[in-house]
Amino acid sequence: MILYREEGETLNDVVNRHSDEVHLRVAKIVCEALEEGLERAHILTVLPDNYELFCTKSNYEDSLVTNLPYVELLEEYELCQRMHGWISKLKYKKYEEDLEKPKKRKKKNDDKQS
């Protein structure tokens, strides 16, 4: 997605002017990145600044959760289902990883005197 910054506009102004498109784009691209196993996803470019926005794997879940309400408001229900599915998978994966981590044992106090 390429957006154009007009004279006097900030990058934030550009994104706000295209907010619906940006929310949908983030949701679609993150879902596609997850499906393809990508480490990062290109969201958009703002010209003439050549500003590029990417989303990295560590932010996929947060990006989906953040954009879900906007996608619901835009009534993109199939995309909402994809997003819900990925959010659930990502949360479950974190839960599984937490369960697999060995718990640290507390050391006994060896300072006891007889």
- Cα separation, 83 vs 64, in Å, equals 6
Lowest average pLDDT, out of 4-13, 36-45, 76-85, 103-112, goes to 103-112
Q: Encode pLDDT of 65-108 as tens digits.
A: 999 999 999 999 999 999 999 999 998 877 666 667 666 666 66
Q: Dig out the tokens for 54 from the structure.
A: 């990417």
The HSE-up count of residue 55 (CA atoms within 13 Å, CB side) is 24
Beta bridge partners of 52: 45
What does each C-alpha distance from 87 to 5, 15, 24, 94 come to in angstroms?
32, 24, 16, 11
Q: What is the pTM of this model?
A: 0.77
Q: Is 40 in contact with 32 (CB distance < 8 Å)?
A: no
